[in-house]
Amino acid sequence: MATVPRRRKAPAAIRAVAAAVAPAAPLAPAKPARKRCLPVSETMSRLMANGKLCVTDEQTAFIPYLTAGDPDLSTAAEALRLLDACGADVIELGVPCSDPYADGPASTARALAGGVTLDGVLAMLKEVTPELSCPVVLFSYFKPIMERGMADFAAAAEEAGVHGLLVPDLPSVATSALRSEAMKNNLELVLLTTPATPEERMREITEASDGFVYLVSVNGVTGPRANVNTRVESLIQEVKQVTDKPVAVGFGISTPEHVKQIAEWGADGVIIGSAMVRQLGEAASPKEGLRRLEKYARSMKNALP
């Protein structure tokens, strides 16, 4: 009976070549790299440079403020996208705090009542910031930063796509330490000066502030006012005499006339807070709030030179 010849194994070299040319399993699509827009300081500097090159266009920065989570985080995310589309140059986003001495209690109370937390705010930002063309500055009181720890807070903010920090109640003795942690995480620490700030302290603030110098137009809690404090004009010039950093004015700004006035006085940026927050927080529904916010934001943006 004839025997069937045994099949010989291909040499190892041939097997290796066959394996090399075999079709590879499809790779999972790579995650898109996080998009980081320009830092706050570079954004402001470009606007200032454009203003110097064009006499008829001073390029004053439009800086709206919102409270994260008022009325809820999903609406806040849509509001960030909307403000970016409306031409915001920088957006300030406030972290709700139980003792908001500078920005008024109403919007924070609504956000806290809805269960908004710092972790929730950062998670929302991580999803939204890659879509934005303008930098976000996180407005937080000092207590949440100390509870989390300066290093962890700064690292978490950077991971969420934040570009700057603003801490209205930051003790002067803690400024250097927080600024150091911020710089390690590519964050710019924006500092505030007020009408009551002594001249020597104002010089220290302007020297240490990154991104821009925040000039508070009035002492006390922010909120809409009939007129802008006329002393702001001289305060802007006083700050500009000691620094070439951009100067943005905030607190009490609520009408297109206010915006025009402050821009004419030489401010490099105008910050609109409480009046912006009211468009969302006092609306009958989130959808109506977003409509109100868009209409209001465009009117303020269009009032700038």
Q: Which of 72, 84, 89, 103 is catalytic?
A: 103
β pairing state of 91-94 and 269-272: unpaired
User: 190 by DSSP, 3-state: which?
Assistant: strand
Q: Which of 70, 84, 92, 181 is catalytic?
A: 92
Task: Tell me the DSSP string of 71-130.
Answer: S-HHHHHHHHHHHHHTT-SSEEEEPP-S--TTT-SHHHHHHHHTT--HHHHHHHHHHHGG
| 282 given a catalytic annotation | no
Q: In this structure, what is the dihedral angle of CA atoms 189, 193, 197, 201, given to the nearest 10 degrees? A: 40
Taking alpha carbons only, the member of 172, 188, 124, 174 closest to residue 146 is 174
Distances (CA, A) of 80 to 137, 187, 293: 12, 19, 11
Instruction: Measure the CA–CA gap between 44 and 57, rounded to whole angstroms.
Output: 14
Number of H helices, E strands in the chain: 13, 8
| 152 given a catalytic annotation | no
Instruction: Measure the CA–CA gap between 227 and 224, rounded to whole angstroms.
Output: 9
Which residues carry out catalysis? Answer: 92, 103
